[in-house]
Amino acid sequence: MNYKFKNAILGGTFDHFHLGHKHFIDKAFKESEKVIIGLTASKLTKDKLLSSIIENYQARETTLKKYLEKKGFLKRTKITPLNDIYGISLTKKNIDSIFVTDIGYKNAEKINERRKKMQFPLLKIVKVPTIMDTDGKIISSTRIRLGEIDREGHSYLQIFKETKEFLLPDSLRDALKKPAGKIITNIDELSYTARNKFIIAVGDIVTAFLIKNMHQADISIYDLNTKRQQIIDNDVLNVFPKPQIVLNNKPGTINCKTVRVLHELIEKSILTKEKAAIKIIGEEDLLALPAILLAPLNSIVLYGISGTGMIAVTATEEKKKEMEKKYLDKFEKLA
């Protein structure tokens, strides 16, 4: 087979290996006889958003090798640690090309500037188009860690842009009374489960319990009602954080406008480390479901079930898919 290039290079973190990564790698191997892949070293990932949940080097390398082997590329590649933007580009004179996305283009130009000074042949810079998700945005590992999309580019937020309201069918009422996560029995267990995690609290009892016994959740959602009765005790009311916004959500529904605002507050809280509270006019119970779908990976969504107690749901990739397919897909939609 005739290739455009003999020895190509590319680099990346390849965290939460996704559809965009596959497209990027496939393009390089389609046009190159051999490819050297620089895999970002863990020390360079510390400043990335939600760096604590970036997979370690070994895990990322293992996933990358599995894909290369599956595609028949493994024998044509070499994986090396990437400790800076240059990698092996300043030591291998016979490299002829570098594959990049829009984000990496400037670094490729810097590499060529250094190679020119060293009297190395300049690399042909091949820009590979980025892949978009179902929301029309770039698929990225950062957005996967943020919980916005899955690895195939399915946007969880887009679900709540396509309709105005979700209505809970009677057939799901009993199913939603079953815990979607771990039942918390005491404060020590909660402290251990939620330690150093981003926390979303849904419900008055959960919100107040956290403030009294641990600390305010990063996002608190409450309606100042318990068991459908308005809270009138000032000692209790004074516990609740001042809401940044008041939103509507009728009983037995999920208001999509409210969900979109919830997503904005989650993103803002992650970036600024500031806590936020939402007061709901109506009922907040079902907002636990979109909270799980839109929560950053490895975060905790806490909600209560009457007669059962406090439930802690860890927002994993698997749990998000389960919540969508098992529950949300069965809701009635109002356009």
Per-residue pLDDT of 36-68, as tens digits, reads 999 999 999 999 999 999 999 999 999 999 999
pLDDT-based confidence at residue 298 (cuts at 50, 70, 90):
very high
| HEC sequence for the chain | CCCCEEEEEEEECCCCCCHHHHHHHHHHHHHEEEEEEEEECHHHCCCCCCHHHCCCHHHHHHHHHHHHHHHCCHHHEEEEEECCCCCCCCCCCCCCEEEECCCCHHHHHHHHHHHHHCCCCCCEEEECCCCECCCCCECCHHHHHCCCECCCCCEHHHHCCCCCEEECCHHHHCHHHCCCCEEECCHHHHHHHHCCCCEEEECHHHHHHHHHHCCCCCEEEECCEECCEECCCHHHHCCCCCCCEEEEECCCEEEHHHHHHHHHHHHHHHHHCCCEEEEEEECCHHHHHHHHHHCCCCCEEEEEECCCEEEEEECCHHHHHHHHHHCHHHCEEEC
Rg (CA), the chain: 24
- The predicted structure's pLDDT at residue 95: 97
- The predicted structure's pLDDT at residue 84: 95
- The predicted structure's pLDDT at residue 228: 64
Average pLDDT over residues 160-180: 94
Give the length of the chain: 335
Average pLDDT, the chain: 94
Q: 104-130 pLDDT, tens per residue? A: 999 999 999 999 999 999 999 999 999
Average pLDDT over residues 149-158: 96
Q: Quick check: 235 pLDDT over 70?
A: no
pLDDT-based confidence at residue 227 (cuts at 50, 70, 90):
low
- The predicted structure's pLDDT at residue 49: 93
Q: Quick check: 143 pLDDT over 90?
A: yes
pTM for the model stands at 0.93
Q: Quick check: 162 pLDDT over 90?
A: no
Instruction: Kindly state the percentage of the chain with pLDDT values over 90.
Output: 86
Q: Quick check: 12 pLDDT over 80?
A: yes
Q: 203-216 pLDDT, tens per residue? A: 998 998 899 888 89
- The predicted structure's pLDDT at residue 236: 65
